[in-house]
Structure 1
Amino acid sequence: MLKQFFILCSGADKNLLESCSEGEQTKYVGIGATVFFTAVMAFIASAYALFTVFDSVYPALLFGLVWSLLIFNLDRFIVSTIRKRDKIGSELLQATPRIILAVIIAIVISKPLEIKIFEKEINTVLLKEKNAMALNNKKEVAAYFKTDLDKNKAEIDSLKAAISKKENEVDSYYETYIAEAEGTAGTKKLGKGPVFKEKIAKHDLATAELDTLRKNNLVIIAEKESKTKILQADLDKKISETQPIIDGFDGLMARINALNKLPWLPSFFIMLLFLAIETSPIIAKLLSPKGEYDFKLEDLETALKATLEQDKYQRNLLVKTSAAMHDKVYEDIAQDKNLYALQKQKATELLELQAHNFVEKQKKTF
C-alpha cells in the first residue's frame, strides 16, 4: 500500500514499473517518498507562515493544504518529465529549468521554518524594535502637543509671575511704612505721621490691587491648568491608541526582516538543507544510470513515435496517389470526342438563350 502510494508520488508509470525489477521499483519508491515529505514540510512551513498573518488556525491549515498540494504537484511534474539521455549535457539542459524551479520552491519553503526555528531570537529583535518605536512614537506625539503645552505653561508662569511681582511690591510697601512708623527709615520720626499715612495708603492700594490681580489671575490659571490637563490627557490617549499598532508589529514581513538582522550563517545552512531535499529527486535521477524502467519507457515512446511517423507517411502517400489518379481520370475525359461535342452543343444553346434574352430586354426599353 505504502509502496504503491510512493510510486504514485514519483510520477512513474505504475503498470510499466510493475514489470521492472524490485531494485528499479525501490529507486522510484525513494524518489516518491522524497516528493511526498517535501510536500509535508511545505504544508508545515506555509501553515505557520499564514498563521502569523491570519492569527487563526483554520485558514492557516486550509491555505497550507492548498500550498502543499501545489508543491507536491510541481515536484511530481518536475521528476516525471526528466528523461534519461545518452549524453549528460542533454540531461543537464533539460533539468536546468526544473532545478531553478526547485531552488525557488526550497527558498519559499525554508523561510517560514527558519522563522519558527529562530523564533526566540526574532522575538528579542522585535522587542528592541518595538521599544524603539514606542519611544519614537512618544516623542512624535509629544512634539505634536508640545507647542500648545509650552504656550499654556508660559502663560501660567506669566500670570504667576505677575502675582509674585505684585506681592513683592506689597511687601516692599509694608516694610516701608513699618520702618517709617518705627523711625528707622524715611523721616526717622517715631509715630504715625503724615508720611506714614501716605505710605500705608500706598500699601493698602497695592494690597487691594494684589487681591484683585490674584483673584483674576487664579481664575485664568485654573482654566489654563484645566486646559493643560486636557492636552496631557489627549497626549496620553494618542499614545495609548497607537500602542496596540506597535504591539502588533510581529507579522510575517516584520519577522522576515528581523531574521535578516540575525547572523546569516545558521539561516543559510537551513536553506541549503531544504535546497538539498527539494533538488534530491532531480539530482538522484540525473546521477543514476539508465535503468530498466528508462529503457522500457524509451522503447514505448520510440515505438509510438515510429508508428505515428509511419501513419503520417502513409497518409501523405495516399493523398499524392489519389491526386495523381484524379489528374489522370480528368485528362482521359478531356480527350473524349463525344463528351467534347456534347459540351459544345450545350454551350451553344446557352449562348443562344442569352442572346435572345438580351434582345428582349432591349426592345422593352423603347
Structure 2
Amino acid sequence: MLQRFFILCSGADATLLQTCSQGEQNKYAGIGATVFFTAVMAFLASAYALFTVFDTLYTAIFFGLIWGLLIFNLDRFIVSTIKKRNSFANELLQATPRIILAVIIAVVISKPLEMKIFEKEINQVLLEQKNELTLANKDQIAMQYTPLIEKLNQDITTLKTEVSTKEAETNVLYDTYISEAEGTAGTGLLGKGPVYGEKREKHDAALAELQQLKTANAEKIATLESQIAALNTDYNNAVNTSQPIIDGFDGLMARINALGKLPWFPSFFIFLLFLAIETSPIIAKLLAPKGEYDIKQEEEESILKTWVAQKVQQREQILATDIALNTKIYNEIEEEEAVYAHKKQKAEELLKLQADAFHALQVKRL
C-alpha cells in the first residue's frame, strides 16, 4: 500500500512498473518518497513563514498546504518527464529550470526555519536594536523640548541671581550700619548717631525691596517651574506614546535583518541543506541508472511512434490514391456524349422555365 502510494508520487506508470522487477519498483518508490517528503518540508517551512506574517495558525496552515501541494505537483511533473536515455546532458537540460527554481525556493523556505533555529540570538539582536531605537527616539523627542526647558531654567537662574545680588547688597548695608554703631567704621564714633540713622534707613529700605523682590521672583519662578513640569509631562507622554511602536519592532523583515547580522556560516549550511532537499527528487532521478522500466517505457514510445508514422503514411497514400482515381473518373466522364446531352437537355429546360417566369412577372406588372 505504501509502496503504491510512493510510486504514485513518483509519477511513474504504475501499470507498466508492475511488469518490472521488485528492485525497479523499489527504486521508483524511493524517488516518490523523496518527492513526497520534499513537499512535506515545503509545507512546514512555508506554514511557519506565513505564521510569522499573518500570526494566524489556520491561515498559515491553509496557504502552507497550497504551497506544499504546488511543490509536490511540480516535483512529480518534472521527475516524471525526465526520460532516462543515453544522454546525461539532455536529462540535465530538462532538469535545469527545476534546479534554478529549487535555489529560489530554498532561499524562501530556509529563512523562516533559520529564524526559528536562531530565535534566541535574533531576540538578543532585536533587543539591542530596540534599546538603540528607544535612546534615539528619546533624543529626537528631547530636541523638541530641551531648548524650551533650558531657556526656562535660565530665566529661573536669572531671577534667583537677582535675589542673591539684592540680598548681598542688603547684607553690605547691614554690616555698614552695624559697624557705624560699634564705631569700627565710618565716623568711628561709638553709638547710634545721625550717620547711623541714615545708614539704617538705607538698609531697611533695601531690606523691604529685597522682600518684595523675593515675593515677586518666587511667583515668577513658580510659574516657570510649572511650565517646565508641563513640558516634562508632554515629553514623557510623547515617549510613552511612541514606545509601543518600538516594542512592536518584531516583524518578519526585522527578524530577517537581525538574522543577517549573525555569522553567515551556519545560515549558509542550512540554506545548502534545504537546497539539497529541494533538488533531491531531481538529483535522485538524474543519478538513478537506466533500468528495466526506462527500457520498457522507451520501447512503448518507440512502438507508438512507429504506429503513428504508419497511420500517417497510410492516410497519405489513401489520399493520393483517391485524388488519382477521382481525376481519372471525371476525365472519363468529361468525354462521354450521353452525359453531355443529358446536361444540355436539363439546361435548356431550366432556361425555358426561367424565361416563362420572367414573362409572367412582366405581364403581371403591366
TM-score range, shorter chain: 0.7 to 0.9
Q: Cα distance, 1:134 vs. partner?
A: 1.9
Q: Distance in 2 between matches of 1:310 and 1:164?
A: 121
322 and 186 in structure 1: CA distance in 2 versus 1, 3 angstrom threshold: farther
Q: Encode CA deviations 1:24-58: one digit per residue, 9 max, x unaligned.
A: 11111111111222222222222322332233433
**Residues 192-271 of structure 1: pairs in structure 2 closer than 5 A:** 192-271=192-271
Letter in 1 for 2:180: E
How far 1:314 sits from its partner (Å)?
Answer: 4.1
Of 337, 342, 346 in structure 1, the residue corresponding to residue 340 of structure 2 is: 337
CA distance in 2, matches of 1:229, 1:311: 99
Offset of residue 129 of structure 1: 1.9
Cα drift, residue 90 of structure 1: 1.2
| Pairs aligned (count) | 363
**Contact 2:49–2:109 at 8 Å: present in 1 too?**
no
Please give the alpha-carbon distance, in whole angstroms, between the structure 2 residues aligned to 1:72 and 1:248.
Answer: 36
Partners of 1:24 and 1:270 in 2: CA distance: 33
1: CA distance between counterparts of 2:88 and 2:351? 77
Question: What is residue 112 of structure 2 aligned with on the other side?
Answer: 112
Alignment of 1:1-366 (within 5 A): 1-328=1-328, 331=331, 334-335=334-335, 336-338=339-341, 341-342=344-345, 345=348
Q: Select between 183-192 and 12-21 the one with higher mean Cα deviation.
A: 183-192
- CA deviation digits over 1:273-324, x for unaligned, max 9? 2222222221222122211111222233333333344444444445555555
Q: Quick one: distance in 2 between partners of 1:182 and 1:353?
A: 168
Partner amino acid for 2:113? L
**How many Å separate the matches in 2 of 1:79 and 1:29?**
12
Where does the alignment leave 5 or more consecutive residues of structure 1 unmatched? none
**Cα offset, 1:355, TM superposition:** 10
Which segment drifts farther, 311-320 or 109-118?
A: 311-320
Q: Deviations over 1:94-125 (max 9, x none)?
A: 11112212222223222222222222222222
CA contact (8 A) 1:71 1:105 kept: no
Question: Which residue identity lines up with residue 177 of structure 1 in the other structure?
Answer: Y
Q: Give the TM-score normalised by the residue count of structure 1.
A: 0.86
Instruction: Give the whole-Å Cα distance in 1 for the aligned partners of 2:105 and 2:255.
Output: 20
One-letter amino acid matched to 2:242: T
Contact 2:159–2:217 (Cα < 8 Å) also in 1: yes
Report the CA distance shift for 1:3/1:350 in structure 2 as closer, same or farther (over 3 A): same
Instruction: Report the Cα offset of residue 269 of structure 1.
Output: 1.7
Provide the rounded CA distance (Å) in 2 between the counterparts of 1:144 and 1:221: 22
Q: Given residue 199 of structure 1, which amino acid in structure 2 is its aligned partner?
A: K
Amino acid at match of 2:22: E
Distance in 1, Cα, partners of 2:38 & 2:237: 50
1:352 positional shift: 6.8
Q: Distance in 1 between matches of 2:161 and 2:60?
A: 65
- Percent identity, please: 59
The change in CA–CA distance for 1:350 and 1:209 in structure 2 (over 3 A counts) is farther
1:251-280 superposed Cα distances (whole Å, 9 cap, x missing partner): 222222222222222222222222222222
**8 Å Cα contact 1:334-1:340 kept in structure 2:** no
Give me the whole-angstrom Cα distance separating, in 2, the residues matched to 1:196 and 1:346.
166
The structure-2 alpha-carbon separation of the partners of 1:352 and 1:330, relative to structure 1 and needing over 3 Å to count, comes to: farther
Q: 1:202 to 1:251 in 2, by over 3 A?
A: same
- When normalised by structure 2's length, the TM-score is 0.86
TM superposition shift of 1:75: 1.9
Please give the alpha-carbon distance, in whole angstroms, between the structure 2 residues aligned to 1:220 and 1:78. 85
Distance 1:187 1:309, change over 3 A: farther
Gaps of 5+ in 2: none
For residues 320 and 334 of structure 2, what CA distance do their matches in structure 1 show? 21
Q: 1:133 to 1:338 in 2, by over 3 A?
A: same
Deviations 1:166-199 (A, max 9, x none): 2222223322332333333333333334433333
Cα RMSD for the two superposed structures: 3.1
SS in 2 for 1:187: coil
Instruction: Report which stretch shifted further, 53-62 or 332-341.
Output: 332-341
Relative to structure 2, which stretch is displaced further, 48-57 or 231-240? 48-57
> 1: distance between equivalents of 2:334 and 2:193?
164
Q: Distance in 1 between matches of 2:16 and 2:303?
A: 15
- Give distance in 2, aligned partners of 1:322 and 1:177: 150
How far 1:21 moved relative to its partner? 0.9
CA–CA distance in structure 2, aligned partners of residues 350 and 196 of structure 1: 163
Question: How far 1:23 moved relative to its partner?
Answer: 0.4
- State how far apart, in whole Å, the 1-side matches of 2:215 and 2:270 are: 76
- In structure 2, relative to structure 1, the CA distance for the partners of 1:273 and 1:339 (3 Å cut) is same
Instruction: Decide whether aligned partners of structure 1 residues 5 and 337 sit closer, same or farther in structure 2, where only a CA change above 3 A counts.
Output: closer
Q: Give per-residue Cα distances to partners, 1:138-187, cap 9 Å, x unaligned.
A: 22222232222222222222222222222222223322332333333333
Tell me whether 17-26 or 249-258 shows the greater mean CA deviation: 249-258
Inter-CA distance 88–170: structure 2 relative to 1 (3 Å threshold): same
Provide the C-alpha distance between the structure 2 equivalents of 1:177 and 1:317, rounded to a whole number of angstroms.
Answer: 146
